[in-house]
């Protein structure tokens, strides 16, 4: 009797300390307190560096091998992946909770599909970091960046580089989760430039 009671109390304590995580495939397991707040993950994004033709996604909730498998399985179905990298074009790091996608040069980055697949897998996409090399354009008073290889358009938010219009630039930018709501099919994707890696205009912005 005492043994049964001890086991029950131990199980209850473990359930409180390590809540059960149920994955879309029906598998369940317990997460520790290693999950971080959305704000802390956004703050850690300052050290992200995106290689050319890569897209890095900061995700909240991918903290174990089961999580990594589910996220990788969902994202590996994306169009435009360079499957010669990472085995299937997707690399999941549970320590940083970042997912790196290797994109085939010249293909558009499927931002909306990335967001949808991460949500469907049961995780929170905090931010998507992009590497964009192209030409700055001004349309209707908006500063746009057109990718040189794919022709995909990005709308630069919160930056005044109008004097660089017509110039070639290489930038690292991010699409924060809240911006997904304003992305319409075919419309420029709103991004915030974090790093002007190279441009032909000297600007200390």
Nearest to 185 by CA among 132, 130, 108: 108
Q: What is the DSSP string of 151-182?
A: --EEEEPS---GGGTT-EEEEEEEEEGGGGGG
Is 182 inside a domain boundary? yes
Q: What is the pTM of this model?
A: 0.76
Q: So what's the pLDDT on residue 98?
A: 94
Number of domains in the chain: 1
CATH code of 104's domain: 3.30.70.100
DSSP lists the bridge partners of residue 174 as: 129, 192
Q: How far apart are CA 98 and CA 81, in angstroms?
A: 17
Residue 29, pLDDT above cutoff 70: no
Is 204 inside a domain boundary? no
Beta carbons of 76 and 90 less than 8 angstroms apart: yes
Is 84 inside a domain boundary? yes
Is 19 inside a domain boundary? no
Q: Determine the structural domain holding residue 180 and report its residue range.
A: 37-42+51-199
Instruction: Give the residue-averaged pLDDT of 65-75.
Output: 91
Is 1 inside a domain boundary? no
Instruction: Give the residue-averaged pLDDT of 17-36.
Output: 50
């Amino acid at each position: 009797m005492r043994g049964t009671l001890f086991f029950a109390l131990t199980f209850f304590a473990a359930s409180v300390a390590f809540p059960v995580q149920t994955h879309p495939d029906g598998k369940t397991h317990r997460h520790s307190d290693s999950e971080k707040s959305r704000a802390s993950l956004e703050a850690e994004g300052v050290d992200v560096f995106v290689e050319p033709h890569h897209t890095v996604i900061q995700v909240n909730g991918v903290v174990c091998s089961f999580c990594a498998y589910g996220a990788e399985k969902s994202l590996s179905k994306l169009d435009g992946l360079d499957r010669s990298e990472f085995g299937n074009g997707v690399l999941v790091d549970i320590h940083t909770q970042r997912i790196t996608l290797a994109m085939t040069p010249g293909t558009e980055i499927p931002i909306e599909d990335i967001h949808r697949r991460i949500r469907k897998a049961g995780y929170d996409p905090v931010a998507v970091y992009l590497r964009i090399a192209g030409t700055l354009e001004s349309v209707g008073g908006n500063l746009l960046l057109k990718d040189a290889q794919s022709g995909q358009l990005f709308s630069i938010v919160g930056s005044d580089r109008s004097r660089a219009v017509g110039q070639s630039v290489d930038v690292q930018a991010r699409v924060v989760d809240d911006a997904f709501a304003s992305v319409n099919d075919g419309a420029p994707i709103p991004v915030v430039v974090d790093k002007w890696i190279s441009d032909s205009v000297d600007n200390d912005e």
